[in-house]
Homo-oligomer: A and B are copies of this chain.
């Protein structure tokens, strides 16, 4: 079995039932698997992405950590389509706006959230001289992270 797969599995077994998150030490994990610490980052960036229903937070320095937050299994599945197909790797401001409004109309998210997301996604928020393609990529990532946040919020209630 590949190292990456083993690490992925190991991490997934760290969760207690119903716990929304686990915390780990990069160096400890790397030592446990006798691999380069950056290998952990590789696993995280390929298997614990928003598309997979996970969000990551971390801190450097003494007492540093990596925290992985997940949404419920069922929701993970149901949002796969939304995140991967509907948003994808890049999305225009226009398409993003349409998506937000549509989600609000169908009651998936609140109108307030839709407008807040829209504010973050509109062109003025990215008024800097970089290629449009970059902007669409950033927008997609931003949108996914926001949707994930809303999803996580819903699960806590």
Contact = CB atoms under 8 A, between A and B. Distances in A.
Chain A interface residue count: which class? Answer: 35 or more
Nearest to A139: B125
Contacts of A62: 2
Q: Copies per complex?
A: 2
A35 B142 CA distance: 38
A21 B152 CA distance: 34
Given A120-B145, A120-B146, A63 B134 contact: no
Nearest to A135: B138
**Interface on chain A toward B: helix, strand, loop, or mixed SS?**
helix
A119 B134 contact: no
Nearest to A150: B116
A141 B125 contact: yes
B113 A116 contact: yes
A104 to B, nearest CB: 13
Interface string A125-157: 111101000100110011001101110110000
A115 interface: yes
A119 B146 contact: yes
B63 A118 contact: no
Interface of A: 1-2, 5, 50, 55-57, 62-63, 112-113, 115-120, 122, 124-128, 130, 134, 137-138, 141-142, 145-146, 148-150, 152-153
5 contacts: A116-B117, A118-B149, A124-B141, A126-B141, A130-B130
